[in-house]
């Protein structure tokens, strides 16, 4: 049995629901310690984090990832128990197989093989592993990065093992993420009888022109790395449920996924400007969930493109789509960050699985990236 697959199976068998690690990091730490890594535990709150480093010089190349997994959903809908790794038709099934225990295993075996061949490589190899990625993400990567920064320890290059592949293995890597900001708008009016329009102020009517402008607005054109900023309304509530009452207030929740062409400040002022034209009695509360970040073309994108092409015979698309990941906590420290992992089609679903061939290839790609950067 291939070592990468064996390690993936061992990790899947540990039921590590966020923020539980269930011994996954102990397994990884032992493996890394045997290969010359210095192990350091950085625990915050309920969350266990591992920082392992081999070497004391720069550049520092880090693998980042999470051992925690999302809940299984109804057990009887799984074809095999989610924490009993099962191989069928070339696929390895189990919760976390694709997101992202397979990647963790591939990182370990890539290092093993790289170190065996190049014991005196340049710089350092590091692992930043957390068990708080699928949950609130407050005591994981974000805290480790703060701690490293405070003591002046810098990462230069980082690969996050998130399942980035889309239709075929290696077809896509993530080089950044859009920003995300939510607005909570309450429009105030005056409640009353529908038969007496002169005595009411209908907040639903007040919303009509606001809505039309917000949805028609062209926020930006995007740029080389990002698609145009998008605006979506997720909630709209008003009304008392009866026929003859004009409601006194309306609540609207909206979200913008924004490119690096915009800042939260600009978005806020443009939205406020639209609302101010049609209402002078409202509250607007903002919640910023993440700023956009981008790893521009450079050493890491070149190293990754070359490694993927060597193995799959085609270049990956550099994408900024998809949801958030811990890359958002690493990139702000000036780190070149790329997400590269298996196909994401089954992640978080019943019968999550990963191709055994793809995991084998992933390990080879990770090793080639190490060679492209540290030799
Ligand atoms: Zn993940």
Read off the CATH number of the domain in which 12 is found: 3.40.630.10
For residues 28 and 136, state if they share a domain. yes
Active site residues: 68, 133
Distance (Å, whole) CA 319 – CA 185: 32
Angle CA 35–112–120, to nearest 5: 70
For residues 217 and 353, state if they share a domain. no
**Quick one: 88 exposed, middle or buried, by C-beta within 10 A (0-12, 13-18, 19+)?**
exposed
The reported pLDDT for the residue numbered 325 is 83
- Whichever domain contains 260, its CATH number is 3.30.70.360
Q: 1 falls in which pLDDT band (50, 70, 90)?
A: low
Question: Peptide bond before 19: cis, by omega within 30 degrees of 0?
Answer: yes
* pLDDT for 350 beyond 70: yes
Domain coverage including residue 187: 179-290
For residues 41 and 131, state if they share a domain. yes
The reported pLDDT for the residue numbered 290 is 84
Q: Please give the distance, rounded to the nearest whole angstrom, from the Cα atom of residue 66 to the centre of ligand 1.
A: 7
For residues 102 and 161, state if they share a domain. yes
Q: Please give the distance, rounded to the nearest whole angstrom, from the Cα atom of residue 95 to the centre of ligand 1.
A: 11
Q: Please give the distance, rounded to the nearest whole angstrom, from the Cα atom of residue 123 to the centre of ligand 1.
A: 27
The reported pLDDT for the residue numbered 279 is 95
The structure's pTM equals: 0.85
The reported pLDDT for the residue numbered 16 is 97
Q: Please give the distance, rounded to the nearest whole angstrom, from the Cα atom of residue 161 to the centre of ligand 1.
A: 8
Q: Please give the distance, rounded to the nearest whole angstrom, from the Cα atom of residue 130 to the centre of ligand 1.
A: 11
Structural domains of the chain, count: 2
């Amino acid at each position: 049995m291939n070592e990468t697959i064996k390690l993936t199976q061992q990790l899947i068998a540990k039921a590590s629901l966020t923020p539980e690690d269930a011994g996954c990091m102990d397994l990884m730490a032992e493996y890394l310690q045997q290969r010359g890594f210095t192990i350091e535990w950085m625990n915050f709150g309920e969350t266990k984090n591992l920082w392992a480093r081999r070497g004391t010089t720069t550049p520092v190349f880090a693998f980042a990832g999470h051992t925690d997994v999302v809940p299984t959903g109804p057990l009887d809908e799984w074809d095999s128990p989610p924490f009993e790794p099962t191989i069928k038709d070339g696929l390895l099934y189990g919760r976390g197989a694709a997101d992202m225990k397979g990647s963790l295993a591939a990182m370990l075996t890539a290092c093993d093989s790289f170190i065996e061949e190049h014991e005196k490589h340049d710089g350092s190899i590091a692992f930043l592993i957390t068990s708080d990625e699928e949950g609130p993400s407050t005591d994981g990567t974000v805290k480790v990065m703060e701690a490293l920064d405070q003591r002046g320890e810098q990462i230069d290059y980082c690969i996050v093992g998130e399942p980035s592949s889309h239709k075929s293995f290696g077809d896509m890597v993530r080089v950044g993420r859009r920003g995300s900001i939510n607005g909570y708008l309450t429009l105030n009016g005056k409640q009353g009888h529908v038969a007496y329009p002169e005595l009411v102020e209908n907040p639903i009517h007040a919303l009509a022109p606001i809505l039309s402008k917000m949805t028609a607005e062209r926020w930006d054109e995007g740029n080389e790395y990002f698609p145009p900023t998008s605006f979506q309304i997720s909630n709209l509530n008003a009304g008392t449920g009866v026929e003859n009452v004009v409601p006194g207030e309306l609540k609207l929740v909206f979200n913008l996924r924004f490119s690096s062409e915009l800042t939260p400040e600009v978005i806020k002022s443009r939205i406020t400007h639209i609302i101010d034209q049609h209402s002078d009695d409202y509250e607007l509360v903002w919640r910023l969930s993440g700023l956009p970040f981008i790893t521009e073309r450079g050493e890491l994108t070149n190293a990754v493109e070359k490694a993927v092409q060597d193995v799959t015979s085609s270049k990956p698309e550099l994408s900024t789509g998809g949801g958030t990941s811990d890359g958002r906590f690493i990139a702000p420290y000036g780190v070149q960050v790329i997400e590269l992992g298996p196909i994401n089609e089954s992640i978080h679903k019943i019968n999550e699985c990963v191709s055994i061939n793809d995991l084998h290839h992933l390990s080879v790609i990770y090793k080639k990236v190490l060679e492209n950067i540290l030799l």
